[in-house]
Amino acid sequence: MTGLKEVLLKEQGRLENIIAAVKRQLENTPPGSLRISTSKNGISYYHYQITDKGNGTYISRKNNDLIQKLAQKTYNEKVLKYAEKRLQYVKRLADSYDDNGIEGIYEQEHPGRQKWIHPIEPTWKQRVDEWLKEEYQGKGFKETDPFIYTERGERVRSKSEKILADYFYSHNIPYKYEHPLYLTGFGIVYPDFTVLSQRTRHEMYWEHNGRMDDPAYARKAVKKLQNYEKNNIFVGEKLILTYETEQSVIQTKDIERLARKYLV
């Protein structure tokens, strides 16, 4: 499962980028700091350095460039201090955190002990097994539909759907073909594939749009996508889309890229 661990690693990368950017900016900053004095006549700026015995050297408003650089320097130094402190904390947490820690306790038990244990949370395998056991009525086929079967032995409507199904099957990605889904304001739809994401432990829908160079087909696909969005099913969150035309057919590398991003 990918959860907090991934968030922590992303935050670690973000902080490292911030630290690197701030350090680059600090390389070319003038020495000293900016002192600000406020009076009824307004704000005055002074360039203060360690060697100064007084309040520093007054900066004329004509020298706004120096004011900006010193102000930016102070800000950058504060950001750097905070980011470095936070990075240390995030690194420690990321190194010690395991998203699958509780599940791992059960998995590491002896099989003879496992059969007597009821896990506090279902393991991924138990979740998948229960999910796949669910019976449902698919869309059905017309007499004119081609006879195309997947490696799992189910009938699909196109060679591209077979490629997708066979990829899921060979890579142990749990899926259901044309499982009915009710969309408010539209009715029952049959997503090409309903898949169970190991990354999020939630269902996602994978729609393959195979004839996008056919205007009528494309309009229908767009309408379907709009109805998904009206039901809070958005691309990249709960919906995965692939496309095809006569000149551009689906490639296994495209399926693999999306599966790695959203499913495994």
State how far the Cα of 53 lies from the Cα of 45, in Å rounded to an integer.
16
Tell me the pLDDT band of 186, cut-offs 50, 70 and 90: confident
Q: What is the pLDDT of residues 201-240, one digit of tens each?
A: 899 999 999 888 889 999 989 999 999 999 999 999 999 9
For residue range 43-55, list pLDDT tens digits in order: 999 999 888 777 8
Nearest to 9 by CA among 99, 141, 104, 132: 99
**Dihedral (Cα; 46, 49, 52, 57), 10-degree rounding:** -20
Q: Which tens digit of pLDDT belongs to each residue from 106-140?
A: 889 999 999 999 999 888 999 999 999 999 999 99
Give the chain's mean pLDDT.
92
Confidence of residue 23 (pLDDT cuts 50, 70, 90): very high
With a cut of 90, say whether residue 164 has pLDDT above it. Answer: yes
Name the band, by pLDDT with cuts 50, 70 and 90, for residue 3.
confident
Output the pTM of the full model: 0.70
CA angle 251, 191, 186 (to 5 degrees): 135
| Of 55, 13, 62, 2, residue with least CA distance to 32 | 55
User: DSSP alpha helices (H): ranges in the chain?
Assistant: 4-26, 64-96, 101-107, 111-114, 124-133, 159-170, 215-230, 252-262
pLDDT at 2: 54
Fold of 134-262: Trna Endonuclease; Chain: A, domain 1 (3.40.1350)
Burial class (CB in 10 A: 0-12, 13-18, 19+), 169: middle
Supply the pLDDT for residue 41: 83
pLDDT at 193: 97
Distance (Å, whole) CA 134 – CA 183: 20
Domain segments of the chain as ranges: 4-96, 134-262
**pLDDT range class, residue 199, cuts 50, 70, 90:** confident
Whether 1 has a pLDDT exceeding 70, the answer reads no
Q: Rounded to whole angstroms, how far apart are CA atoms 12 and 25?
A: 20
